[in-house]
Structure 1
Amino acid sequence: MNNNLKEVASVFFKLGCFAFGGPAAHIAMMEDEVVTKRKWMTRDYFLDLIGTTNLIPGPNSTEMTMHCGYERAGKKGLFVAGIAFIFPAVIITALLAYLYVECGKLPEVEPFVFGIKPAVLAIIASAVLKLGKKAVKTIELTIIGLLVLTASLFGVNEVFALLSAGILGMLYFYFKNKVSASLNSFYPFLLSSTLGLTLSKISAINVFWVFLKVGAILYGSGYVLFAYLDAELVTRGWLTRVELIDAIAVGQFIPGPVLSTSTFIGYQLSGFPGALAATTGIFLPSFLFVLILNPFIPKMRKSKLLRYFLDAVNVAAVAVMLAVLLVMTKEIVLDWKGVVIALIGALLVFKTKVSPIWIIIIGSVLGFVLVRFL
């Protein structure tokens, strides 16, 4: 393994161990590692990756790791980055699934999670500010960003908002500048087929196909994942809704992508072979999407029309991150304990050079202390 691949593996394995807080927090931590610290790419190009990643199915933060790995170490880097990021969550989730099946309950981790959640707010805020400075290039893009922010806060689907922003920006800037550029054809690779499986028993191969379908068409948050899995698993009688809720909960409080929930469910359905099948099935489409999409991103920048589209999508993606930050703040900072941890996190982020990983650790310890002893 060459030095670049080793560096990719090291960075994303570390993030996989400490990336709590959902996609917005994961991307914020990633930006700190690959743009600020290591300068693998410019912040402008990192924004391009965020914008295009938001337009394809699959877990956004996991796909971002693959893009970053590709940029640093080519196709091998794509796979190394994705696997390194996913691996810690899969191992932790498999262990928890084993304990859940054997003991019938999950370990007590709520005090630590209580502290992590407000701590990540400052990390996301820092990334929104840094990326926003690059994305908001004109008054028109500012207006598009505000429109997307408003739409997101009112519950408009984020993919619809991003696509609408991209089309609006592309048309506006095209006619404003009266450009007669030819459009180099590019269509994001979208897969929306259904497999129509009729299963008679729960085998590892059947688990694989169900999770492959979910991974190929999944957009949105963990709540959307819950809806997909409810339709695929509960209605089939494979899981009870309580078991599914427990599985989703595991994905929320472990580091890394929430789609590691699939590992937990796969183990429930078919033991370790099922865990492996579910994990492979749900993440495999993301590797393929990124492998196909990544080479087109620099070409998009060369076309004036697609550059307008991408600029608008980028500012919309930052607006969506800001909307996530506002909603998370409203839901998480509910009492003085949450306020204290959030303020300490903000102080560390904006006044020191402490790594986001240490902020996560400090937040978890503060959460444990405040919940247990105060």
Structure 2
Amino acid sequence: MERSLDRLKELAALFFKLGVIGFGGPNAHIAMIEAEVVGKRQWLSREHFLDLLGATNLIPGPNSTEMAIHIGYIYAGWLGLIVAGVAFIFPAVLITVGFAWVYVALGAVPQFAFLLYGIKPVVLAIVVDALWRLGKKAIKTRKLFVIAIAVALLLWLGNISEIIALLIGGVLGMIWLRSPDRPQQAKEEANILIASIVTSSTLKATAAMTAASQISLWQLGLSFLKIGSILFGGGYVLLSFVQGEFVQGYGWLTQQQLLDAIAIGQFTPGPILSTATFIGFVMAGFPGAIVATVGIFLPSFIFVAALNPIIPYLRRSKWASAFLDAVNASALALMTVVTIQLAIATFSKSSAPYVDGLAVAIALLSAVLALQFRVSAAWLVLGGAAIGWIAFTLGYVR
């Protein structure tokens, strides 16, 4: 019993520390976890660590958080699973609630608006950087490229929910990817895939497109639980689901608030899904933050608990790998569509010349710094805020 308690304390201390210093996104988090649990503490072998990492790609949710949960389960059983996951998530959630409180208190004050003016174009650049990096991994074949284009068209042209689009792309893509790769047959199957997806664009989204004057905590939590259950492709795909669910669907969140949530999320360490905490707080205060956080992260705990014992079988499944490839390509398409929509909202002006040249310049400069020079997102956001302040001082922003 004492040994188990010691292990739980070790897990809590380690993953709380990683949650506090974990800037740089999931790849940086995973590198830090590997250095601690494989290199320094030798809790498991590098081969076992890679098996766990591969398995996290087969389930929805944030990879780095799920790695923490996996390691907690292996090192200290069911309680370890909970302790490691909560310890890793908690710092980001706590910091995000602080930012959300400040945002709600000051966000409507004109003197605060200029900061967000400079930050929003930077956010677009950060998302484009993520799209580029994820795209190089996700779009590995011509078939996956066709799947991504088809899903993007489905979402852009058809009134269909992101979840349905993701599942269509995953299931049909899995079937297509597992078929023999003969030129004529591949051409015919590509036509069938595109026809199926485009035809399904006539379907209507299941959620009613009506604005709600009163936010239901039950519906808020259920929506984030649903998103957390199908969130393939990394934390940035969250933007697409939040856009469809809360901006276009229920009307509980504005597009500007979504951009602001992403921007403030760049300041916090730990998993990017803590952005859900910010969104929940903006919509419904502390109760909203709690239900949003529980909803978005709970599926990861459940999936890891169910998956850990069967990892060896899933790692050998060609169908599971094909489904994952198709879903990742589809998730990238969702991100691309939302990024275009956010860009239109950010760069548009109500009067001539109808395009905000300074906002475009900030986005382009930030994209170059992120893509070419790998400048940290936190520094880019601070730089955007500084440019917003200068523009406000010179009278460009009112």
* TM-score normalised by structure 2 residue count: 0.62
Partner Cα separation in structure 2 for residue 357 and residue 245 of structure 1: 24
Larger RCO: 1 or 2 (CA < 8 Å, sep 6+): 1
Partner Cα separation in structure 2 for residue 121 and residue 95 of structure 1: 23
- Give the structure 2 partner of residue 117 of structure 1: 120
1:240-293 superposed Cα distances (whole Å, 9 cap, x missing partner): xxxx669x96665252315434335544xxxxxxx2x43322322333211111
Aligned pair in 2 of structure 1 residues 39, 123: CA closer, same or farther (>3 Å)? farther
Once the two structures are TM-superposed, the CA of residue 109 in structure 1 deviates from its matched residue by 2.3
Partner Cα separation in structure 1 for residue 280 and residue 317 of structure 2: 39
1:5-35 superposed Cα distances (whole Å, 9 cap, x missing partner): 14421245x5xxxxxxxxxxxxxx5245336
Aligned pair in 2 of structure 1 residues 324, 301: CA closer, same or farther (>3 Å)? farther
- Give the structure 2 partner of residue 81 of structure 1: 88
Tell me how large the CA RMSD over aligned residues is: 3.9
Aligned pair in 2 of structure 1 residues 342, 159: CA closer, same or farther (>3 Å)? same
Partner Cα separation in structure 2 for residue 73 and residue 141 of structure 1: 34
State whether residues 48 and 310 of structure 1, in contact with CA within 8 Å, keep that contact through their aligned partners in structure 2.
Answer: no
Does 2:187 correspond to 1:161?
no
1:53-102 superposed Cα distances (whole Å, 9 cap, x missing partner): 3xxxxxx6xx55633543565523322232222222212333555x48xx
State whether residues 263 and 279 of structure 1, in contact with CA within 8 Å, keep that contact through their aligned partners in structure 2.
Answer: yes
Q: In the comparison of the two structures, how many residue pairs are matched?
A: 299
Partner Cα separation in structure 2 for residue 317 and residue 39 of structure 1: 26
State whether residues 65 and 78 of structure 1, in contact with CA within 8 Å, keep that contact through their aligned partners in structure 2.
Answer: no
What letter corresponds to residue 372 of structure 1 in structure 2? T
- Give the structure 1 partner of residue 245 of structure 2: 224
Partner Cα separation in structure 1 for residue 21 and residue 374 of structure 2: 18
Gaps of 5+ in 1: 15-28, 54-59, 179-201, 231-243, 268-274
Once the two structures are TM-superposed, the CA of residue 345 in structure 1 deviates from its matched residue by 0.5
Does 2:331 correspond to 1:310?
no
Partner Cα separation in structure 2 for residue 110 and residue 47 of structure 1: 43
Partner Cα separation in structure 2 for residue 123 and residue 265 of structure 1: 24
- Give the structure 1 partner of residue 369 of structure 2: 348
Gaps of 5+ in 2: 1-8, 36-45, 74-80, 183-213, 229-240, 266-274, 348-354
- Give the structure 2 partner of residue 34 of structure 1: 29
1:99-149 superposed Cα distances (whole Å, 9 cap, x missing partner): 48xxx9656422111111111222222222222122122221121111112
- Give the structure 2 partner of residue 361 of structure 1: 382
Does 2:337 correspond to 1:323?
yes
User: Match of 1:221, SS?
Assistant: helix
State whether residues 366 and 380 of structure 2, in contact with CA within 8 Å, keep that contact through their aligned partners in structure 1.
Answer: yes
Aligned pair in 2 of structure 1 residues 322, 245: CA closer, same or farther (>3 Å)? closer
State whether residues 266 and 279 of structure 1, in contact with CA within 8 Å, keep that contact through their aligned partners in structure 2.
Answer: yes
Percent of residue pairs bearing the same amino acid type = 21
State whether residues 16 and 90 of structure 2, in contact with CA within 8 Å, keep that contact through their aligned partners in structure 1.
Answer: no
Aligned counterpart in structure 2 of residue 148 of structure 1, from 135, 146, 151: 151
State whether residues 171 and 323 of structure 2, in contact with CA within 8 Å, keep that contact through their aligned partners in structure 1.
Answer: yes
User: Match of 1:152, SS?
Assistant: helix
State whether residues 69 and 79 of structure 1, in contact with CA within 8 Å, keep that contact through their aligned partners in structure 2.
Answer: no
- Give the structure 1 partner of residue 202 of structure 2: none
State whether residues 148 and 329 of structure 2, in contact with CA within 8 Å, keep that contact through their aligned partners in structure 1.
Answer: yes
- Give the structure 2 partner of residue 281 of structure 1: 291
